Structure 1
Amino acid sequence: MNNKTILYAEDDIIIQKILGKFISKKYPDTLIASNGKDALSLFETNKVDAVVTDLSMPVMSGFELIRKIREHNTVTPIIVTTAYRDEAKQLNDAGVTILYKPIDTKELMKSLEAAFAC
């Protein structure tokens, strides 16, 4: 079993269930949030080894979530999942990995493994 804790934030319930279940198979300690505000709360109250987040979410966007995480933590790997290529360009200096939807699960796992190899 893998002892890494992944925080996964996605508001689309279908994508959340599919990818959440997929991530949990390798990383059983996966925390799931439906918006950036809940994700930030989970990040602040748990030891999170990596964040996988959508950009477009209600309550608090993925952009805001990343900004708030990076205010105090510049080392936790963040993987962005998004359908919006133009918006993702705004993250060039945020130290994130960007994966475009529809998500290739092999690429997601490679990105997580690469994050932990550092």
Structure 2
Amino acid sequence: MDLIYSTINFYDKLVRRYREYLKPDIISVVMIQSKDQVYLETTEIEILEDGLEKQTTKRIDLGFITDGEDFESEELFFNPKDPIEKNVRKFINELSPYSIINTTDLFHEEACGKINRKYNTFGVNM
């Protein structure tokens, strides 16, 4: 059985939108989609003492993110039946910073604290 999937690297779009929030070691953010699943893959780089570059790639299944108020009406926020372009646009344009800090590890600690305080103190989700 062949495994067919599509990928889109949208790191540059995230940098433009969340420059001050993104972890500085991240060099790639890719959505990977098959007919059954949607993943977010991030690659971070670390320069070792001897000048070697260590790259660490993390992949998470986005199937746990839903779009609904109650369990009976919940639908997948990133639906594998939708085109990958639609799912990438949803990640960039519809997933709030508060949702991002609760579902991914894209943002550095200070940014997460700032976003969390804004949301929990003022109800600000952007």
Same structural fold, with TM-score higher than 0.5 when normalized by the shorter chain: no
- Larger Rg belongs to: 2
> TM-score scaled by structure 2?
0.28
> TM-score scaled by structure 1?
0.30
- Higher percent of residues as strand: 2
- Higher percent of residues as helix: 1
